Homo-oligomer: A and B are copies of this chain.
């Protein structure tokens, strides 16, 4: 057909708020390595191991038996029950009515943000931080203010007074990620108690991204890092976000959950309907297997990662000019080295010159500049090979 009589099309652009969102600097580094066959990638927040067989089997069995239909917005009942039991065992009494299943941890964060913030609202976040927590509220038109962690002899620490000063009565929401990506910083229970009390006083919501809670090394007797769920009643202004990605190596499954007041669940179900409607039915069945049969695996994994952390910290610490401290949680070391003052350029050079894939600190906000992130969720031999490449790079650049 001839369309020559139609007006000329306009060029298309996304709205300004979306164009202003940060693109991934990690992807920019990965692109710099495009075409280089021999890259050791430590840049993504992901183990190099496949999801355990029993979890994959559960999904395949569910597919074989026909679990290919829509589910309830908040998730299938047996998964919600399994999660309520799991959360109760870690953090005290939690009912099915406090649980919503989501299409990934990041989807849970988007839903939590949609629940409480709209255009013009003031949000506070503690940084350096994986970009998603800072960018999600901006998609909704909110204004995000950041409070930076400090770095010193104790590693990454929070100046609690600075955070409390930022949490003004005009603040709608505090977004926290502890154990923290990228720094490995873990908020102490005393800090959590003070922040919770302050937020109660001023009616400020807390969205706590606790997806790394099972990767906690500071207290060998603890199954999890300190959680707001240990302190908060289930009916107050606290929304905790979690994921199957880290504890059970299920990054590619996109399955998460929310613990929130029961009074919010009807509204949350509407938001789930309008975002993804539900997580895939057979993926939820796999989630049941992970929760019910995966406790031993999660504990072993945390032990392995603790070993990998110690191994990497020791190896990096032996290199000239590298300042690295063992972080108490998560699966990253976030360390400084010569050249890291321009971390994006440094990481591009690392991948191009020696095939070492690290994430630039500036990917996690301007507060992360001067550092790089190394994900140690892999075999120690692979870590050694990476350290050897870094050593070579540093010696080539006069280190």
Contacts and interface: CB of A to CB of B under 8 A. Distances in A.
Nearest to A197: B6
B237 A139 contact: no
B104 A252 contact: no
A171 to B, nearest CB: 14
A94 B78 CA distance: 43
Contacts of A261: 12
Interface string A117-139: 11110000000000010011001
A21 to B, nearest CB: 5
B252 A282 contact: yes
Given A9-B233, A200-B6, A254-B276, A70 B44 contact: yes
Contact of A236 (B12, B110, B201): B12
B116 A253 contact: no
A49 to B, nearest CB: 9
A28 to B, nearest CB: 11
A10 B203 contact: yes
Contacts of A64: 56, 60
A237 B10 contact: yes
Contacts of A205: 12
Q: Give the interface size bracket for A toward B.
A: 35 or more
A71 B252 contact: yes
A68 B51 contact: yes
A276 B70 contact: no
Given A106-B276, A115-B15, A251-B68, A9 B232 contact: yes
Interface in A163-204: 193, 196-197, 200-201, 203
A275 interface: yes
B276 A104 contact: yes
A68 B250 contact: yes
Contacts of A66: 50-51
A231 B117 contact: no
A218 interface: no
Interface stretch (A266-274, A336-344, A358-366): A266-274
A293 to B, nearest CB: 16
A106 B277 CA distance: 7
A13 B263 contact: yes
A274 B12 contact: no
A224 interface: no
B274 A132 contact: yes
A274 B135 CA distance: 7
A139 B197 contact: no
Nearest to A133: B274
Chain B CB within 10 Å — which of A9, A13, A132, A264 has the most? A9
A235 B12 contact: yes
A280 B59 CA distance: 12
A278 interface: yes
A249 interface: yes
19 contacts: A9-B233, A10-B237, A11-B235, A11-B236, A13-B264, A14-B116, A18-B267, A18-B271, A21-B267, A21-B270, A46-B69, A46-B70, A110-B275, A114-B139, A132-B273, A135-B274, A139-B271, A141-B141, A283-B283
Given A140-B140, A141-B141, 5 more contacts: A14-B115, A110-B274, A252-B282, A254-B276, A280-B283
Interface of A: 1, 3, 6-15, 17-19, 21-24, 44, 46, 50-51, 56, 59-60, 63-64, 66-71, 103-104, 106-107, 110, 114-120, 132, 135-136, 139-141, 193, 196-197, 200-201, 203, 205, 230-233, 235-237, 249-254, 260-261, 263-264, 266-271, 273-283
